[in-house]
Amino acid sequence: MKNINYYKKNISETKITILGCGKSGIAAANLGNYLGAEIFISDNRKKIKKNQLIHCNKNNFEIGEHSNKCLDSDIIIKSPGINPNSKIIKTVLNKTKIPIISEIEFASWFTTSPIIGITGSNGKSTTVKLLYDFFITKYKNTMLGGNIGIPFSNNVQKEIKLKIQRCIHIVELSSFQLENIYTFSPQVACILNLSKDHLDRYSSIKEYFNTKFNIINNLSKKSFFIYNEENKNLKKIINKNEKNYIAFGLNNNKNNFYLKNMKIISTQNKKNIINCEKINLKGEHNYQNIVAALEISKIYKINFNSIMKKLELIKPLEHRMELVPSNSNISFINDSKGTNINSTINAIKSYKKNIILIMGGYSKGKTKYKEFINTDLKHIKFIICYGDEGKNIFQELSQNFKCKYIKDFTRCIKYAIKIAQQKEIILLSPACASFDQFNSFEERGEKFKEIIKNHNFKSEYAA
Give pLDDT tens digits along the chain (463 positions): 567 778 888 999 999 999 998 899 999 999 999 999 999 999 998 877 655 555 555 558 898 999 999 999 999 999 999 999 999 999 999 999 899 999 999 999 999 999 999 999 999 999 999 999 999 999 999 999 999 989 999 999 999 999 999 999 999 999 999 999 999 999 999 999 999 888 889 999 999 999 999 999 999 999 999 999 999 999 888 877 677 999 999 999 999 999 999 999 999 998 899 999 999 998 999 999 999 999 999 999 999 999 999 999 998 889 999 999 998 999 999 999 999 999 999 999 999 999 999 999 999 888 899 989 987 899 999 999 999 999 999 999 999 999 999 999 999 999 999 999 999 999 999 999 999 999 999 999 999 999 999 998 864 444 4
Q: What is the pLDDT of residue 457?
A: 84
Cα–Cα distance measured from residue 7 to residue 139, given in angstroms and rounded to the nearest whole number: 31
Cα–Cα distance measured from residue 5 to residue 86, given in angstroms and rounded to the nearest whole number: 29
Q: Which domains does the chain have, with CATH numbers?
A: 8-98 (3.40.50.720), 105-313 (3.40.1190.10), 322-461 (3.90.190.20)
Among the listed residues 33, 26, 34, the one whose alpha carbon sits nearest the alpha carbon of residue 51: 26
Q: What is the CA radius of gyration of the chain?
A: 23
The DSSP element (H or E) to which 247 belongs, if any, is: strand 245-248
Cα–Cα distance measured from residue 101 to residue 240, given in angstroms and rounded to the nearest whole number: 30
Q: Which residue type, as a one-letter code, is found at position 290? A: I
Q: Where are the alpha helices (DSSP H) in 142-283?
A: 152-161, 205-212, 232-237
Burial 59-94 (b: 16+ CB within 10 A, else e): ebbbbeebeeebeebbbbbbbbebebeeebbeebee
Q: What is the pLDDT of residue 197?
A: 86
Would you give the distance in Å from CA 114 to the centre of its chain? 21
For the chain, percent of residues with pLDDT exceeding 70: 95
Would you give the distance in Å from CA 26 to the centre of its chain? 20
Parallel, antiparallel or unpaired: strands 273-275 and 263-266: antiparallel
Cα–Cα distance measured from residue 121 to residue 234, given in angstroms and rounded to the nearest whole number: 11
The predicted model scores a pTM of 0.88
Among the listed residues 288, 290, 281, 296, the one whose alpha carbon sits nearest the alpha carbon of residue 229: 288
Q: 426, 336 in Cβ contact below 8 A?
A: no
Please tell me whether residue 105 adopts helix, strand or coil conformation: helix
Q: Where are the alpha helices (DSSP H) in 248-339?
A: 284-299, 304-313
